[in-house]
Amino acid sequence: MRFAHLGDCHIGAWRDKKLKELNLQTFITALDSCVNQKVDFIIISGDLFDTTLPDLSLVKKAVEKIKEVKDQGIPFYITYGSHDFAPNAVSIIDILTSSGLFTKVVDAKIVDEKVQLNFIQDLKTGAKITGLSGRRLGLEKKYYNILDIESLEKEQGFKIFVFHNAIIELRSKTASYPEGVPISCFPKGFDYYAGGHVHEKIEKEITNYGLLAYPGALFGSTFTDLEHTGKGEKRGFYIIDFDDKITNTQFIDVNLSKVFFKQINADKKTARQVEEILKKAASECEAKDKIALLKVAGELSLGKPSDINFNAIKQILIEKQAIFASINHYSLSTEEKLELKIKGENRQEIETKILDDMACSFKIDPALESEVKSKIENKLAAQNGINLARNLLSSLGIEKNEGEKKKDFEKRVLQNTLHLLGLEEVEQ
């Protein structure tokens, strides 16, 4: 018996049309490969889609393929990720689950203030599957803390735990995931722990637990992901063979197009020198049919980043028939100190640095009552404050869906916000 484990497909990610299409094609190829490998079922450990309601033309193509696979007798077991889940909003996953296309892994109820999980049993193989969904920015911690572990450990049979979060003990490889739960939150003795959320491939046998694996992002949803691909990170999914125990694991590569990546250090160089180096790197790159990414970081000794004609360099790569070309210069600054004070690789990192900075200088009015003070401190100081700010940023940044009434949209934003501020009870 065998199953496939995919994670973090992020269908609908990418604004660029070609990357968007490649991302989808990678998913389709992965499913074809599952059929060829004659898997009995497929687990998707969250972030199948990049948003709760992605571009419907992409959903249509993905669903056609999923249906085709399902019609061959291969069921899908799926959890929400941090991207395709939103409190109080209907996710495309809900719609597809209602249609019978997927089985949702998480079957939870709260009994005596504990989260009780039921197992879903795969009819053909008898495998028992359960798990927890992801939440935006680590809200899942709360659920792990009140998880009824005992009943999960008592269950007999071949057991799979599906989850969507980073694990603190695996931090070395997951440093870019500040939120995580310790492995002690998980029930012991499962045969396989099917992870999502971490975009790099990790496979580890954990004593007293079992085999824990993250397949990583199938294609990648950010330039940082693609840079990792360019540095040699494998992209694909797992196929696991089992009888009453796991008998074999293999990682299936699904790399439809190569990524060329080169990083250039700009420290102590002038803007003109850096431009020359970038031009040379672009001219020497065998960019044909590749995703070509250049990255330049450091502090210029003379001139400003805006003195460099990045567009012209990109053009060189396009003329060499790169599928896609990009030059990342967000971490380039100048000694002239006219530019940004905060540097970061991407928007998220810059946000994090700004919020960290602000959290450090957070002060509470000493004139307040002590009860109010401790309440405020609990919600707004240190890491809690940073988490809340980040959650609010993403919650307030959601867009109105096509066809959604302004009133409904406002209600959705308000409900999400109240939920994050803990001003409203939400049904699980």
Residues in contact with Mn ion, counted by CB under 5 A, come to a total of 2
**Residue 225 within binding range of Mn ion, rule CB under 5 A:** no
**Bridge partners (DSSP) listed for residue 109:** 116
Rounded CA-CA distance 385/371 in Å is: 18
Question: In the stretch 389-418, what mask flags binding to Mn ion with x, by CB under 5 A?
Answer: ------------------------------
For Mn ion, the closer of residues 199 and 290 by Cβ is: 199
Q: Taking the complex as a whole, how short is the minimal distance between the CB of residue 72 and Mn ion, in angstroms?
A: 27
Q: Does 8 bind Mn ion (CB under 5 A)?
A: yes
> Helices (H) and strands (E) in the chain — how many of each?
12, 18
Could you write out the DSSP letters of every residue in 202-221?
EEEEETTTEEEEE---SS-S
d(CA 223, CA 378): 35
What is the layout of strands, in order, in the sheet containing 246-253? 103-104, 76-78, 41-44, 2-6, 236-242, 246-253
Would you say 198 or 282 has its CB closer to Mn ion?
198
> How many CB atoms within 10 Å of residue 17?
9
Category of 404 on φ-ψ map: left (φ > 0), alpha (ψ -120 to 50) or beta: beta
Our finding on whether 200 is near Mn ion (CB under 5 A) is no
Residue 83 a catalytic site member: yes
What is the smallest separation between the CB atom of 274 and Mn ion, expressed in angstroms? 33
Choice from 47, 50, 84, 122 touching Mn ion (CB under 5 A) = 47
The set of residues, in sequence order, having a beta carbon less than 8 Å from that of 122 and lying 6+ positions away, is 3, 40, 41, 75, 77, 128, 129
Binding of Mn ion by 179 (CB under 5 A): no
Distance, in Å, from the CA atom of 169 to the CA atom of 237, rounded to the nearest integer, reads 22
Q: Left (φ > 0), alpha (ψ -120 to 50) or beta: where does 236 sit?
A: left
Residue 290 and residue 94: Cα distance in Å, rounded?
36
140 forms part of the interface with Mn ion (CB under 5 A): no
Buried b (16+ CB within 10 A) or exposed e, 294-306: bbbbbbbbebebe
**Residue 225 Cβ, how far from Mn ion at the closest point, in Å?**
9
Binding of Mn ion by 227 (CB under 5 A)? no
**Is the CB of 218 or the CB of 287 nearer to Mn ion?**
218
Q: How far is the CB of 4 from Mn ion (least distance, A)?
A: 18
What x/- string results for residues 60 through 99 when contact with Mn ion is judged by CB under 5 A?
A: ----------------------------------------
Query: Interacting stretch for Mn ion, rule CB under 5 A, among 43-51, 305-313, 369-377, 399-407?
Result: 43-51
Task: CB nearer to Mn ion: give 270 or 352.
Answer: 352
Which region, judged by CB under 5 A, interacts with Mn ion, from 46-54, 133-141, 253-261, 337-345? Answer: 46-54
Q: Which stretch binds Mn ion (CB under 5 A): 47-55, 102-110, 175-183, 345-353?
A: 47-55
Cβ proximity to Mn ion, 259 vs 266, nearer residue: 259
In contact, 334 and 300? CB cutoff 8 Å: yes
Nearer to Mn ion, 47 or 140 (CB): 47
The answer to whether 342 touches 356, Cβ cutoff 8 Å, is: no
Which of 5, 10, 83, 228 is labelled catalytic?
Answer: 83
* Residues belonging to the active site: 83
Note the residues at the interface with Mn ion (CB under 5 A).
8, 47
